[in-house]
Structure formats: C-alpha cells, structure tokens
Chains A and B, each alone.
Chain A
Amino acid sequence: NAGVTQTPKFQVLKTGQSMTLQCAQDMNHNSMYWYRQDPGMGLRLIYYSASEGTTDKGEVPNGYNVSRLNKREFSLRLESAAPSQTSVYFCASSENSGQPQHFGDGTRLSIL
C-alpha cells in the first residue's frame, strides 16, 4: 500500500518551459490536493479536487492548472514556468473534505 505517490521527485526547468507533476493515491480517497511549500512558510493550497470530475482554486492558483484524470490521479501543470514557482510541491488526499490529509513525499522543483 503506497499511499500517495508523486513523480518526479526532483526537476530543474528553465524559465518558460512547461511540465506536469503527477500524483496518484491508492486509498480510494475522494478528495485530492496540491500544495506548495516555501521556506519559512506553511503549506499553501494551489488547487483541490473535492471529488472525481471537479476541481477548484485554492489560495495560490495563478500560473497552474490541474486535471483530475480519474479517482486515483490528480496532476498539476505549469504551462510557462517562472522562477517564483521554485518550490517543493506536495500532493495530498483525504477520504472527504475536512478530514486528515495523507501526503506524498513531494516534488522539488527548481526554475532557473
């Protein structure tokens, strides 16, 4: 039982490049989330998906898009990467909204 799996673990991009961060959970959870974590700051919610087929903006959605591909998978896309998007990105899932979230181990993204 892997829990929440994120790929890749590390990535370096040049400004303007695009990429998709992948996330999959095997706990049959309804809700999935994408966060970013910057030094000295708490996790900030980028986008979430309350259930399969729905997505909504979180606190810091600008520059990102998401796709809830099916119940298991929730991807985060950077269309045109900017240095300000250098961060550690965490995917999480929960059985339903307002319940404890299970996190992956993160994707460390650097944009030059």
Chain B
Amino acid sequence: GESVGLHLPTLSVQEGDNSIINCAYSNSASDYFIWYKQESGKGPQFIIDIRSNMDKRQGQRVTVLLNKTVKHLSLQIAATQPGDSAVYFCAENRNYGQNFVFGPGTRLSVLP
C-alpha cells in the first residue's frame, strides 16, 4: 500500500507485482512530462516521457498515463523487480521552456 513517510510517500510492493506511482502536476498549461528514477547516491535517470497530445505511452516494462482533465500522471511498472527500488519523480515542462518543475518523489520499495 501507500503511506506517507517522514519525507517521501512510500509505495511497497511484492516482487513480481505491478506498481503504480502517481503524480499530480501543477500547471494546466504544461505540455511535456518526464518520469525519472533516482537510486540511492545517484543522479536522476530518465525513464519515459509523454507529450500532452497523448494519453498513454509504453516503454519496456513501463507505461505512463496522462489525464489532463485532473492534471494527473501515473507510472506503471510491470513485474516489479528488486532493481526497481528507488525514488521516482515526475517533471513537467511548458512550451520547450528551460525550467522543468519536479515533484517531490515517491519511494518504491520492492519486497522479496
């Protein structure tokens, strides 16, 4: 389930289950969104992106869903593995601007 930790929301899932990580974005004018994965001690790593003219985009084991009506983005990870344990955060951008606005992140914990 999902719980609020001291600093970050945490999602704990069993290995092999599917994970869904959610993000509420702030600007209705944002037209480009990225999901990043950040492992402990490392910099953020690009996972998948989506533009506002799409509702869904699939990658390898990951799917991003965009609901512009409620300004909501989700990242689905299929068959979650221990190597998926990390902090995931979304970033939004408008009109190819320099500034991406990053969410605070969700910590994904994969249980054996």
* Chain B contacts for A100, CB-based, 8 A: 34, 46, 49
Complex CA distance for A100 and B43, rounded to whole angstroms? 14
Interface contact tally, CB-CB below 8 A: 59
Interface size, A (range): 20 to 34
Secondary structure call for the B interface? loop
Q: Identify whether the interface residues of A are mostly helix, strand, loop, or mixed.
A: loop
A residues 1-52 with Cβ under 8 Å of B? 4, 31, 33, 39-45, 48, 50
Partner pick for B96 among A39, A43, A58, A98, CB 8 A cutoff: A98
Stretch at the interface among A70-78, A79-87, A101-109: A101-109
Q: Are B43 and A105 in contact (CB under 8 A)?
A: yes
Min CB gap A23→B, angstroms = 11
Given A42-B103, A42-B105, A97-B98, the answer on whether A102 and B46 have CB atoms closer than 8 Å is: yes
Q: Interface of A with B (CB < 8 Å)?
A: 4, 31, 33, 39-45, 48, 50, 56, 58-59, 90, 92, 96-106
